[in-house]
Amino acid sequence: MPTIFAMIFFASGLMALEAMRGLAQTNQATVDIATNWLPSVQYANAINTNVSDLRLAEADHVLSTTGKDAAQAEADIADTMKEFEANRKIYETLISSPEEQRIYNEFSASWQSYWAMHQKLLELSNTHQTEDARQLYKGEMRAAFEKMGALPDRLVQMNGDGSKQAYDDSVNAHETTKLITYGTTGIVLVILLLSTIFVLKAICRPIDDITRAMDRLAGGDTQSAVPFAGRADEIGAMAAAVEVFRQAALNNIRLESEAAANLALRQADEAEIQRRKEEEARNLAFATENLAAGLKRLAQGDLTHQIDQSFAAEYEVLRQDFNQSIQQLAGTLLDISVSISTVDEGTREIAAGANDLARRTEQQAAALEETAAALEEITANVHNSSRRTEEARTVAGQANTAASQSLQVVGRAETAMRKIEGSSQQISNIIGVIDEIAFQTNLLALNAGVEAARAGEAGKGFAVVAQEVRELAQRSAGAAKEIKALIHNSATEVEEGVSLVQGASQALSTIGSFIAEMNEHMEQIATAAREQAIGLTQVNTAVNQMDQTTQQNAAMVEQSSAAATSLSTAAGRLRMLVGQFALSGAHQVQPQAGTRPAKGYSMAA
């Protein structure tokens, strides 16, 4: 672009210089004709006329017959000489060449010789020597007059030739100026045409392509590449800014995909946890049903019942403990039946205490079971909360990073828009220069049309060319105005885009502060979750201690059973009671007759 405008300026300057030179030559020729050549011809003719008038006045003086006629002739001579001297003084100021000065000096010398003869002629005429005066007038003075009269004619011829040469120089200057003006105007028009094509190809078309790329990006097409992104000029900066928006859109799509994947993963984890809970509930229900059936059989006195179906791993210990307890209880009853006669009375007392202790142990075992289940759920919830808190912290960090990156992208976009705005202003200035050139070209075409009109038929062709140049200049000016209006609208839209980008930057800054605050809350929640985990560890310790206490109570029950064996007074009643239990095979105990149930004992034991 600078080269194009430099060529335009050079051609315009060359045309202006040549036009000024041609006008200067024409003006100088006109000035020479008006102030030198024509006045010189005029005054040379006047001098020649004065000399001829002097000759007539001299003839009148010689031919005068009276004093009045002689006086009139002398008066005419005096007037002629006065006019002659005035014309000579003026002509002397108009001499412009050595040759003209030489001819004039020759005329002056001839005039001095003729003037001497003139004085002698007047003297002879005044003394009435008429014949001598006539001889002098017709002889020497005529020869001198003819010689002297030829010199003004030569001056007239010389000044006429100078005037003709000045005219020829003016015509040549006009033709040269006209040819150079035509050629320079053609060059300027070619340069303007080429620069217009260059502007359309190098600026307007890339801007249209980038605009279509922005429209596709706004429509959701993030796969199409942005054209002209590799250029190093303002077009490249615009394309790079659009590419930044496209990359940001791709990052947003990727983040949305990752968020959807994380959501699906969390939903899968929650489904797995729900499945485990349901499975645990089924296992618990299965174990509870089997234990209830076993306890029912045990309440009916059937000590041969065993739970053969395996429980879940966490409840398998209960099944084994139940079966072992039944076996141990059956063995104990068998042992009691052997020594039933010696421990009858003690057994009744121990039975009452064992009944109470068994009830408390059962209640404690149930409470421990519920506590263990609740503790397990709490532990799972705490672990889930801790894991989700860590995930939330990770997502918050990613969101904070994305917000920071988006803020940087917005800053670069704002800088790029500012550069676009500056470039638009420069293009507007260039269009203003083109508009001014078109205006000057229009004026030159108008002046050329006026000159062509003055030239008449010879200038009709040039008038048509001048009209075409004027129309081209007007169309160039119109196109420049339209481009300038478009650039102004683009600058306004860029300014609005800068305002929106600044608003987005402020919003991202606010989002970043909110994310940082949310991250702090997540940290506090994670700390609370860790503290809850520590508390759960302490609760587990307490449950273990309660389990040990339960085992100690069971040991006390065994001790009480051992003490019951020493109670011989309860053997009869105990045998009857033991006989109510279904034992395996030959170990079935038959109740003795005459035994009574002990006080305070019930079958609920």
Do residues 141 and 118 touch, judged by C-beta distance below 8 A?
A: yes
Say whether pTM exceeds 0.85. Answer: no
Q: Which of 561, 577, 597 is the last residue of a domain?
A: 561
3-state secondary structure of 68: helix
Q: Which of 132, 155, 179 is the last residue of a domain?
A: 179
Q: What is the DSSP string of 353-422?
A: HHHHHHHHHHHHHHHHHHHHHHHHHHHHHHHHHHHHHHHHHHHHHHHHHHHHHHHHHHHHHHHHHHHHHH
Q: Which range marks the domain in which residue 403 is found?
A: 351-561
Q: Does residue 342 lie in a domain region?
A: no
pLDDT confidence of residue 597: 44
No. of helices (H) and no. of strands (E), the chain = 12, 0
Q: Does residue 89 lie in a domain region?
A: yes
Give the CATH number for residue 43: 1.20.120.1730
Mean pLDDT by 10 residues, the chain (605 residues): 65 70 67 73 85 86 84 90 90 86 87 89 86 87 83 78 76 78 79 72 67 74 71 70 74 81 82 82 80 77 79 78 78 68 61 70 72 74 74 77 78 78 77 77 77 75 76 80 80 78 77 76 73 70 71 67 61 70 58 44 34
Interior/surface letters 26-51, b for 16+ CB within 10 angstroms, e for the rest: beebeebbeebbbbbbbbbbbbbebb
Q: Which of 179, 205, 234 is the last residue of a domain?
A: 179
Give the CATH number for residue 520: 1.10.287.950
pLDDT confidence of residue 79: 92
For helices 344-455 and 234-299, the axis angle rounded to 10 degrees is 160
Q: Does residue 576 lie in a domain region?
A: no
Q: Does residue 394 lie in a domain region?
A: yes
Q: Does residue 437 lie in a domain region?
A: yes
Distance of CA 9 to CAs 15, 184, 433, 448, Å? 10, 11, 11, 20
Long-range contacts of 589-595 (CB under 8 A, 24+ apart): 589/333, 589/334, 589/337, 589/340, 595/344
- H helices present in 129-233, as ranges: 130-138, 140-199, 205-218
Number of structural domains the chain divides into: 2
Q: Does residue 548 lie in a domain region?
A: yes
AA identity, residue 388: R
> Torsions phi, psi of 133, nearest 5?
-65, -40
pLDDT confidence of residue 82: 92
Q: Does residue 599 lie in a domain region?
A: no
pLDDT confidence of residue 540: 67
347's tokens? 């057994």
Q: Does residue 123 lie in a domain region?
A: yes
Output the CA torsion sign for 441, 444, 446, 449.
Answer: negative
Which residues, in sequence order, are CB contacts of 473 under 8 Å at separation 6+? 438, 439, 441, 442, 445
